[in-house]
Structure 1
Amino acid sequence: MRLFKKGSSGPSNNTKNRANSSPNVNVKSKGSGGGTVSADGKSTVFRVPIPDSVQPGQEFQVYAGNRIVRVKCPPNSQPGQFLQITVPIDPNESSNNNNSNKPNAGAANKSLPPDSPNVCPVEDRDGGPPAYMVTIPEGIRGGSQFPVTIQGQQLVVTCPPNAAPGTKVRIVPPPPPPDDVESSVGISGNPDSKRKLMADEETQLFEVQVPQGVKPGQSFALLAAGVRVLVTCPLNAGPGQRIRFKLPKALTTKRKPRSEAVEIKLSYDKDGWTRTIRVSDMKFQWVRMDDNGDIDTNTRFDAEKSAYVRKLTFQPGGDERVRDGVMTLVPASDAFVDSRVKAYNGEVLVSYSEIAEAQVKGFEEKAVWFQEKCQKLRVEWSEGHMRINVRRNFLLEDSVDAVMSLNRKDLRKVWRFEFIGEMGIDAGGLTREWFELVTQEIFDPDMGLWMSSETNQMCMQINPASKFVCDDYLVYYRFLGRVMGKALFEMQLVNGHMVQYIYKHLLGWPITFKDIATIDEEYHQNLKQLKDLHENGEDLEMLCLDFSTTQEFMGAKEEVDLVPGGSNIEVTNDNFPEYLEACLRYRMMDRVKDQLTELLLGFFDVIPEPLLTVFDFQEIELLMCGLPKIDMDDWREHTEYSGEYEHVNGDYPTCHWFWEVVDEFDQEMKARLLQFVTGTSGVPARGFGVLQGNDGNIRKFTIHGVHVGVCLYPRAHTCFNRIDLPMYETKDELREKLKLAVTMVATGFDIE
């Protein structure tokens, strides 16, 4: 697809096509047949991106005009890169060019939805492909995306950086695919990719009726044999028509949850973000279901519903030992992750069926499963192992030099450590000591790289001022990412708990407006007050706010734009949702984007991202930091009571039942309860008596009594280490509601 700003002559790559069943052809310039005709009139040139699943040397299939051609991926190329191909002109295609280039040609016999109201056909006197002028809707700014329907195709257009609402952009839609309903259903990119993906597994055929309201090219979610999948309506199908798709039998086999916590999650059906499997390529994708069970397609920021997921794109070229990458925050519905893990030789080590099955296991079983898969990825001892020598007095410096000199294959070899000048053979003990000491030192706030969270002194967050610590400060974050990945790979423990949203970034989990409160409760409350004013119709222009914020670095205050030129953009009632979105993006990523990018690049140098899809953000903290050793007597002794329980100092049936239920919990559930109330599974070294709150002062674990009419489920206030516990009438009701609240917090659902 090509996109032109009105009055310009140059192309832009800011437009995506989600609907086309083979969108991997981008016409380089106008010409007969949708390509560039050579001087001799015998060939056409196309630019095509390499699909995600294609490796160097493999062939893949693309649409070139109205034909399907096969392309071989060059040795030095990788998925996402564009190739220029030259295709001989088909005489039959040339003879039909005049008809095929007319808008809506051939559409008379199809039941296609009408074009969007902001779409207007453009007459092209040069005989080129059909073009359209699209008016940018209100609320859309440079870089934002919005959907349009053209000739039955639902396209997603990216607003040019220098455009604004009301501006017209020129769109040249890609050619439609062949009219084969079954072969085109849900297939994105390479038509062979789906068949190839399932070639090694037995499949089951499903037939479903396209729901009312679903347009051609639009995705909809459904349950197939108990598995929620994402299906794309073919371009030549519509509501009421029956379409078919296949799923691996291993995926649709009824799997029974292995733990009570998972059973609760799966049985609790409520509006919220959930991870589904795309039928098109078996990749995992986040979707949000509305109250009617349909996919929420709202594109404008909503503080209650919108969510964002980090997207990490690896860059080609550069030093093979240290990959470069770019990280952005994209709408959660645009985020997807591979569901297969391959070895360096291309062999599939873990399939999507195995990953989907592991997702319903209990935490302990997941940990065992994860370790088994890492064993498959580990380089055999006979192929080489690494001996790392460090000086205890210069532990961090020596460790950084050693680890950063390794390539990615070396990171999966067996490591053996030696502390120079000390006797001892590493049989595992020195390795454990090294991981503990090196992570303890790098997380030390005195290093200047990390700082205690404002809402929880047990959690560490990236120090935005770390760029002033040293010139090569980013190396330390890449190093730590590799160390954390290697620790997880070897089932070693990391001596440091991070703030919750960083674990979400590691997993590619949705980030919401509520997550701001986990790092700065006061800032979150200020934004909520502005939100209340906006909802009550107050004039926000009276507050004299703009799209900028003030940050303090090394004692000096600095004004930072939340968007380009933000200090010159006034916050109004019309653009307030965009202001909230900008605040979330800045707090959750942009202010520490460089450091966070290096941390994740180092982590994924060791751990394949698909393996992490089996864990939630609570579980990944428990896996990396270990289950805490909780002294129940110490916990009870240093618990305070407030609200309805204050006057009896906890001498109330509900409080007694609470501790009896917690005593019944296994170690994992106790840790999850601690995460639920305090924001982390970490316990202070000196016990619960020195538990701190968001102000740095002692803030003991608190049970706050409320009536059931105030809230039906227990709810947590992590900045105060407080749990609101309704005055239930029975112990069984308390047990049920407490377990549900504790286990559902990791799903992102709101159970109020």
Structure 2
Amino acid sequence: PENLQIIGSWWASLPSAVMIRHVKAWRSALSVVLHIWPVPRRSIRNMLLVLRDMYNACKKKIPEKTFYVEMDQIILQEDLQLWRAASKTKDGNPPPLILCDFRFVLDLKLKKLIFDNNSLITQREHQTPQQMGFYLRWIPQSGPDYFCLNVKRASLLEDSFLQLAAAPLSDLRKPLVVHFDEDSKVTDVYKRDFFHHLFLRIVSDKPEMFMLNDSETLVWFSSEASEENVMNFYLFGVLCGLALYNNSIVHMSFPLVLFKKLLDVEPTLEDMIEFSEAVGGSLKYILDYEDDDLEDQDFTFKIHWDGMDVDLDPQDPQKAVTSQNKKQFIDAYVNYAFNTSVEKVFQEFQRGFFQVCDQRLLKLFHPHELQGMLVGEAVYNWEVLRQNTRYGWDCPLTHPTIQMFWEVFDELNEEKRKDFLWFLTGFRRAPVLGLKQIQMEIQVTQIQSGSPDQHFPESLTCHSTLLLPLYSTKEVMRDRLTEALKPERGFMRAERDPDPGSPVILTQEQY
């Protein structure tokens, strides 16, 4: 250890450019060894240990991506299997190479691949019939292969909470299927609609569970939750876990601190600044105040949070904030807001979340990465979406209808483009790895009866496929597309029968 400290101190003293050269040399060597078969596990582990020491010494001076190593998916799959075996038994199986101690060599794409593969394996295990011996016969003992939620659009929240509360824990690990209004179709569209609308309903229909920030753009757990609502926080956690486990993006306006807490990372002043510009700004002012007369500013350890007055130091009411104790005050304020005041309800939320998702495997991720996986990204590179688009065999890029579509798309404002993304994929935010994850296909459809101008575009959200009628003009294309993107034409419209005299307006194909 002493020698490692000496080497670590030497590495940390090097200029950034020199550090990067050292890291790249070891990283290149590791990449070569990773392609040897069979895998020389001891050699790889020794090289990873060196890289870890370099990472710990240099991580504040050079980008983490400097340590990312390209590796074959076969190695990661083997490592995942070893990790799963080690988590179930202590009988001396070889430990995984990477998953336990060396997450810093994995980029987000590889981490997500590991998480998604683990979810898929777990789902299949829970679908496989369990066998029991009865004399010499083997009798399958199993429930349905899916975890099915049968909900009505008009009572979406109530139906969901009732069925989740009654569900056996083992069912939560099966693949999720959602049925709306007794429709027996098995379609990914319903699952995406379910998560999109349910999370909007929770915040609007259960306001007593949450507090809003000053600008009403972010929500946090209420510190005044009743005993009745404690169970709801557990179910809310289950829903968040189900969304992540089933690879769905949800509309959830929580700050980064939620994901930090899920990963056992302590909240900081930066989290308060994100959630409340007013409170965070005041605390930052106190922290940066350099004169010795801070106590003359009349700040005390008594604060107002979530509608209540709170003494952060009950043993000394009205204790003044001074230059000597200002750090203690700020830490106590942040700790109360994000830990103490919501301790019970967060524990229930966390318990529900980890009933579905494996807590240990999520340690692979940084908080912002976990946040992006669950709620998506607010960065939209629309040019990447265009470049990734494929076209039907009979409608190349030069087809007049395709040309009209892109002209109309370019004229849409940012919010309308997000509406289009929801129409196309079932998600309004970009995937965590960006729009390059989406490969849209555009097909021009032949209308069997009536004029194409009467019909609206359709989408096959499971495959990100856009179906366009042969519109006569760009103006007709614009009118029909913008009308199809209106939110009420999708989810809620299915609650009522269409007007028999109206044109065909199916906007999301149920596939």
Within-5 A mapping of 1:284-433: 345-346=88-89, 351=96, 353-356=98-101, 359-378=104-123, 379-383=125-129, 384-385=143-144, 386-420=147-181, 422-433=182-193
Unmatched segments (≥5 aa) in structure 1: 1-184, 186-206, 215-222, 228-246, 258-264, 275-338, 639-665, 672-685, 687-752
CA 1:583–1:630: 2 relative to 1, 3 Å: same
SS of the counterpart of 2:300? coil
SS of the counterpart of 1:416? strand
**2:319 corresponds to 1:565:** no
* Number of the residue aligned with 1:507: 263
Cα distance in 2, alignment partners of residues 253 and 428 from structure 1: 43
* Number of the residue aligned with 2:295: 541
Deviation at 1:434, TM superposition (A): 2.5
Deviation at 1:455, TM superposition (A): 5.4
Residue 460 of structure 1, aligned match among 205, 219, 223:
219
Contact 1:549–1:561 at 8 Å: present in 2 too? yes
Cα distance in 2, alignment partners of residues 390 and 343 from structure 1: 39
CA 1:549–1:345: 2 relative to 1, 3 Å: same
Residue 434 of structure 1, aligned match among 171, 180, 194:
194
SS of the counterpart of 2:106? coil
Q: Percent identity?
A: 20
* Number of the residue aligned with 1:154: none
CA 1:415–1:269: 2 relative to 1, 3 Å: closer
Cα distance in 2, alignment partners of residues 552 and 624 from structure 1: 26
Q: CA offsets, 1:577-612, max 9 Å, x none?
A: 221211121233223333222211211111122211
Contact 2:179–2:186 at 8 Å: present in 1 too? yes
CA 1:589–1:352: 2 relative to 1, 3 Å: farther
Cα distance in 1, alignment partners of residues 435 and 156 from structure 2: 35
Cα distance in 2, alignment partners of residues 530 and 423 from structure 1: 58
* Number of the residue aligned with 2:329: 579
Cα distance in 2, alignment partners of residues 272 and 600 from structure 1: 33
* Number of the residue aligned with 2:207: 447
Contact 1:389–1:418 at 8 Å: present in 2 too? yes
Q: How many matched pairs?
A: 332
Cα distance in 2, alignment partners of residues 604 and 374 from structure 1: 13
Residue 604 of structure 1, aligned match among 342, 347, 354:
354
Contact 1:341–1:608 at 8 Å: present in 2 too? no
CA 1:566–1:373: 2 relative to 1, 3 Å: farther
TM-score by length of 2: 0.54
The structure, 1 or 2, with the larger RCO (C-alpha pairs under 8 Å, 6+ apart) is: 2
Deviation at 1:428, TM superposition (A): 3.3
Cα distance in 1, alignment partners of residues 311 and 61 from structure 2: 34
SS of the counterpart of 1:434? helix
Contact 2:211–2:306 at 8 Å: present in 1 too? no
Residue 487 of structure 1, aligned match among 243, 253, 258:
243
Within-5 A mapping of 1:517-536: 517-533=273-289, 535-536=290-291
CA 1:479–1:634: 2 relative to 1, 3 Å: farther
Q: CA offsets, 1:299-341, max 9 Å, x none?
A: xxxxxxxxxxxxxxxxxxxxxxxxxxxxxxxxxxxxxxxx965
Deviation at 1:412, TM superposition (A): 0.9
- Counterpart of 2:170, as a letter, is K
SS of the counterpart of 1:270? coil
Q: CA offsets, 1:209-228, max 9 Å, x none?
A: 6659x9xxxxxxxx99969x
- Counterpart of 1:270, as a letter, is K
Contact 2:86–2:95 at 8 Å: present in 1 too? no
**2:304 corresponds to 1:550:** yes
SS of the counterpart of 2:303? strand
- Counterpart of 1:547, as a letter, is F
Contact 1:343–1:377 at 8 Å: present in 2 too? no
Deviation at 1:484, TM superposition (A): 1.0
SS of the counterpart of 1:549? strand
Deviation at 1:254, TM superposition (A): 5.6
Deviation at 1:273, TM superposition (A): 13
SS of the counterpart of 2:267? coil
Contact 2:164–2:235 at 8 Å: present in 1 too? yes
SS of the counterpart of 1:454? coil
Deviation at 1:549, TM superposition (A): 0.7
Q: CA offsets, 1:488-510, max 9 Å, x none?
A: 11112222232121122222334
Cα distance in 2, alignment partners of residues 365 and 389 from structure 1: 34
- Counterpart of 1:585, as a letter, is N
Q: CA offsets, 1:595-630, max 9 Å, x none?
A: 222211211111122211222233222211235555
Q: How well do the aligned residues superpose, as a CA RMSD in angstroms?
A: 4.5
* Number of the residue aligned with 2:73: none
Unmatched segments (≥5 aa) in structure 2: 10-21, 28-40, 65-81, 130-142, 384-409, 416-430, 437-481, 483-511
Within-5 A mapping of 1:215-230: none
Within-5 A mapping of 1:37-436: 208=3, 211=6, 249-253=43-47, 269-270=59-60, 345-346=88-89, 351=96, 353-356=98-101, 359-378=104-123, 379-383=125-129, 384-385=143-144, 386-420=147-181, 422-436=182-196
Q: Which has the higher strand share?
A: 1
Cα distance in 1, alignment partners of residues 354 and 305 from structure 2: 30
TM-score by length of 1: 0.38
Contact 2:238–2:355 at 8 Å: present in 1 too? yes
Deviation at 1:266, TM superposition (A): 10
CA 1:349–1:390: 2 relative to 1, 3 Å: farther
Contact 1:455–1:518 at 8 Å: present in 2 too? no
Deviation at 1:372, TM superposition (A): 0.7
Residue 363 of structure 2, aligned match among 613, 629, 637:
613
SS of the counterpart of 1:605? helix
Cα distance in 1, alignment partners of residues 338 and 297 from structure 2: 24
